[in-house]
Structure 1
């Protein structure tokens, strides 16, 4: 107190004026960017209720650099070249020949939209295997890695140096020493605990490894928001994996705090692997600035199956939020049912309205979320949406055995999507994500079966009981929702 009293009044007044100007400057920036009111208002509230910390938070987390300095490094020419090679090496359905798929009549708009907003070609002749838990996923990935002959490409948000992580690393080191090209990307925030020595150690074995958007002060201010949430493995350009699982023991052994860590993944063979390979290479160019757009990584393939697949990406380098638009279109198309599994539910107004409209129109809409969450504030926000969804006829379920981390949607026994995208603002608009959209009755029925299995270990949220919860709990959830665009 004595220190504060000793500061001359003139200095205090100058600091106050400077702070007011800083707040006004931030407000001006937010308005100038023409942000949605849903995103601008939470920042105004942060600045109003926690003024000093609010300015700091905005500097570190609030800057909207979509398509600005960070994204310009991505190299659009490289993007186009890699995509062109992947497309030329694939058996695909062109825009005009989509009319030749009578069984997919209801989803042609979805296919066309994903082609237009994400350049996601519709590939044919694919085999897709659902890996319904951690053990099945890592058994399949380890088997594929052991069989690698030419190249291994891995990309993960989280890569832990635990038992399963070290099993993967042992194979990578062995393969690299035998001349297999091994390239690896990890997200710098998701894999924050990996030390610099980890990277040097792998590089000593001939493994090329990079962090995605390294976060170090002061560059933290421009990079912390845009994380690479993708999980991709491509082996020899022939076998691809994507889905919700990171490399961590908890997907097999569970977690003392949450129990089972429930998730799903896909194993793909066929031309969709070329699309997945191109996603990796574009991100590889971003982190390394090394141009390896070479047709040898996109081998011509004989048909491996009969599945129609679109590999869809989205991120701050995209012109459109492609995956979010895919969800919206699939939900709007549905005539019978929509089943969704997601660890977090903060979908934004467009998807929220599509779900409500479908339920009110008689579509069976069911959403499965975890009873236990790994993020307290996010869980509060998720719960703030439940009452209005129940009122519209959407059925909400809590998964009981542990933490449900799967990201899946299936509709009408016709289309399903599995990938890395949560139903929240961050996944839909800020993170780099990847999903497979699969158009197949057999596959959709299989995924629906897994959803029903999880539903059997869950309980339906009753509207009357939900309304009876303590007011203080509802107030916390409502407060958390104000910041949903920032979570």
Structure 2
């Protein structure tokens, strides 16, 4: 080809490049539009993604591919994992197991949660609150140290610090003496620590793996879908769950530089089987190894007064479970609702339901940290407070220090405890695990913990919100626009 011919070809390519880019943008934006219309449930979300795809050429479509498409649902359902473990530790057809008799005033929420989850309300459980790492970690370490058959542990964060190393050591000793140990850590949560705890566990001889590592081949598909559950089960009989990660910040008696208040629970009784089944499903999804029968599962005898049921939630077949249970519990509330959460960014339906609950005479207490570990969250939460306060909700801001506790109490005998925050990430993107509990004594114990926080908290008022500067309100509103993705 002559020089003039090459020059002509380059000019032609340069002339075609804008056309090809426009066609690529048109095709990608059209694909996003069709997919969003067919798959998204909320009008505002659908409009937002479509607008982003058209107004931000290629970038908007790429963001939708990364953050807006749920691929876990197809994988999770295809594996059929829930059916595999449905009967472990219970009758052969556990889906038809009868609910334990509950209080008449809780019959509505009991039926709702049964229909949503397909799980029975199980009698005979003991649920013990463990306040801070000071109570939770020694109890968990003792349980691992006394394990005879098996230990399964799942955590979002498992730091390589004083707390994490204590767990690594005792897990390694358990594995060395013949106990079957399995540890599952979320791949993103594992990176909160400079040293990867999965590697440290493997070096110590403990079978451990990371949940959905965001490798390049799956970065677009799964980077935003995290396993936020906190579950530990020893010998299939003793369980631990709640909101506490494994981090030195929770061990307050050791005076950490950044103390974090939180709450965990020790669980005994038939519902422990559900904790173990949830771990087994996530472990099989991640590794392909099926944990069936002994030494993982045991028939736990009734040992306490609590009626309990596991509630799983995640971007698979369980999507929206937690949100629907929360809405149902708010609808049945007659006297009071108490919420403690580190992050509070519920969608418009949940916000409106909270306001309506307060307006019909139910006392609604919302306890939040005055300052969380994420400033963007603090700014995004504030624009919602005016409507809540005006409707009669009592919003309390606790501090100093970050409170990571997660509690939801309704009236005198119903509670939801576990890993879920009141934000879009927990309610739409993360894999979460909670226990629905029916027991008046447990609620009294948890009420006392909420009272402690309210006693030292600052109550947010409409006058205080009105005094905020214009610059502050604009900043908060701008960040609030990102609330579906925070």
Q: Same fold (TM over 0.5)?
A: yes
Which deviates further from its counterpart, 126-135 or 159-168? 126-135
Matched, 1:84 2:87: yes
Inter-partner Cα distance in structure 2 for 1:109 and 1:86? 27
Distance across 2 between alignment mates of 1:55 and 1:279: 34
Confirm whether residue 340 of structure 1 aligns to residue 344 of structure 2. Answer: no
The answer to whether residue 76 in structure 2 is matched with residue 71 in structure 1 is yes
CA distance in 1, matches of 2:460, 2:408: 20
Q: Secondary structure at the residue paired with 1:241?
A: strand
Q: Which moved more, 1:137-146 or 1:378-387?
A: 378-387
Matching of residues 230-379 of structure 1 within 5 Å: 230-253=229-252, 256=257, 259-294=258-293, 296-379=295-378
Using the alignment, how far apart are the partners of 1:6 and 1:448 within structure 2?
Answer: 74
Q: 1:11 is matched with which residue: 7, 11, 17?
A: 17
What are the within-5 Å matches in structure 2 for residues 110-189 of structure 1? 110-189=109-188
Alpha-carbon offset, residue 9 of structure 1: 4.3
Deviation at 1:200, TM superposition (A): 5.1
The range that moved more, 124-133 or 43-52, is: 43-52
Shift of the 17–82 alpha-carbon distance from structure 1 to 2, 3 Å rule, reads closer
Give the superposition deviation at 1:94.
4.8
Partner SS state of residue 218, structure 1: helix
More moved, 191-200 vs 283-292: 191-200
- What SS is found at the alignment partner of 1:87? coil
Farther-moved stretch of structure 1 (29-38 vs 214-223): 29-38
* 1:85 partner SS: coil
SS at match of 2:189: coil
Give the superposition deviation at 1:279.
Answer: 0.8
Deviates more, 1:281-290 or 1:349-358: 349-358
23, 29, 34: which one aligns with 1:23: 29
Across the aligned residues of Structure 1 and Structure 2, the Cα RMSD in angstroms comes to 2.6
SS at structure 2 position matched to 1:110: helix
Matches within 5 A, 1:167-246: 167-192=166-191, 199=198, 201-203=200-202, 205-246=204-245
Tell whether the 8 Å contact from 1:86 to 1:278 is kept in structure 2 after alignment. no
Residues of 2 paired with 1:287 and 1:230: CA distance?
14
CA contact (8 A) 1:92 1:123 kept: no
Cα distance in 2 for partners of 1:280, 1:414 equals 28
Task: Determine if contact 2:408/2:415 at 8 Å carries over to the other structure.
Answer: yes
Deviation string for 1:334-370 (max 9, x for gaps)?
1111010011112223322221111000100010111
Change (3 A) 1:392 1:198: closer
Compared CA separation, residues 35 and 235, structure 1 to 2 (3 A) = same
Q: In the alignment, what sits opposite 2:471? A: 472
Using the TM superposition, name which of 86-95 and 331-340 deviates more: 86-95
Distance of aligned partners of 1:351 and 1:255 in 2 relative to their CA distance in 1, 3 Å threshold: farther
Q: How does 1:36-55 map to 2 (within 5 A)?
A: 36-44=42-50, 46-47=52-53, 51=57, 53-55=59-61
In 2, the alpha carbon distance for the partners of 1:371 and 1:48 equals 39
Deviation at 1:26, TM superposition (A): 2.0
- Does the C-alpha gap of structure 1 residues 339 and 193 become closer, same or farther in structure 2, counting only changes over 3 Å? closer
- Give unpaired runs (5+ residues) of structure 2: 1-10
**Cα distance change on mapping 1:319 and 1:303 into 2, 3 Å:** closer
TM-score by length of 2: 0.91
Given that 2:414 and 2:438 are in contact with CA atoms closer than 8 Å, whether structure 1 keeps it comes out as yes
1: CA distance, partners of 2:384 / 2:196: 44
Residue 201 of structure 1 deviates from its aligned partner by: 5.0
- Cα distance in 1 between the residues matched to 2:196 and 2:471: 47
Superposition deviation, residue 13 in structure 1:
4.0
Question: Offset of 1:55 from its aligned partner?
Answer: 3.5
Partners of 2:20 and 2:460 lie apart in 1 by 55
Q: Which has the larger radius of gyration?
A: 2
2:87 is paired with a residue whose SS is helix
Structure 1 pair 14–91 and aligned structure 2 pair: CA distance change class (3 A): closer
2 CA distance for matches of 1:436 and 1:374?
26
Q: Deviations over 1:104-142 (max 9, x none)?
A: 112112122222211222111111110121211111111
Relative to 1, partners in 2 of residues 1:295 and 1:335: Cα closer, same or farther, differing over 3 Å? same
